[in-house]
Amino acid sequence: MNKKTPNPIDVFVGSRVRLRRLMVGMSQEALADRLGVTFQQVQKYEKGTNRISASRLQAISDVFRVPPSFFFQDDDASGATTGAGHDTGDVSTFVSSKEGLDLNRAFLKIEDAGVRKSIISLATALSKASELSSERTETAPEQRI
């Protein structure tokens, strides 16, 4: 018997619930208490194993003080996603990691917009330099001594 795989949209919505919960520093237990469910149920929601009903999504939105549309928005896009073939990969994984959360919290504390833009420019330049470096390493002939 094949185990049913979660719908990618349910997985995405669940990852956004987890992201927001971590952003506000709330435990699964605390969210479960606020929703009147078990923390295991919250785990299932976050993994996309169990679908989140519309009324439950509204309750989660109320707890986190965000509109329900927050849970359907892509991390690097301002509009809602269509959900078709949506990739929840790298950005969601990084942003919900300890490093990602620390970086975002620190970045949000920078009040000067010019400084924030400079940091983005620096990060972009470093990522391009890293890409070029790895390309050179891949194409460089092996040297023997």
At a CB cut-off of 8 Å and minimum separation 6, what does 143 contact?
A: none
Whose CA is closest to 63, among 22, 31, 36, 99?
Answer: 31
> CB within 8 A of 50, min separation 6: which ones?
10, 41, 44
| List of the chain residues with pLDDT < 50 | 1, 76-88
**90-104 confidence digits (pLDDT tens):** 666 777 677 888 888
Q: What is the pLDDT of residue 25?
A: 87
Is pTM beyond 0.85? Reply is no
How far is it, in rounded angstroms, from Cα 58 to Cα 49?
19
Q: What is the pLDDT of residue 127?
A: 86
Determine the distance from the C-alpha atom of residue 143 to the mean position of all C-alpha atoms in its chain, rounded to a whole number: 42
Contact 10, 48 (CB under 8 A): yes
What is the rounded CA–CA span in Å between residue 102 and residue 79?
Answer: 25
pLDDT value of residue 140: 54
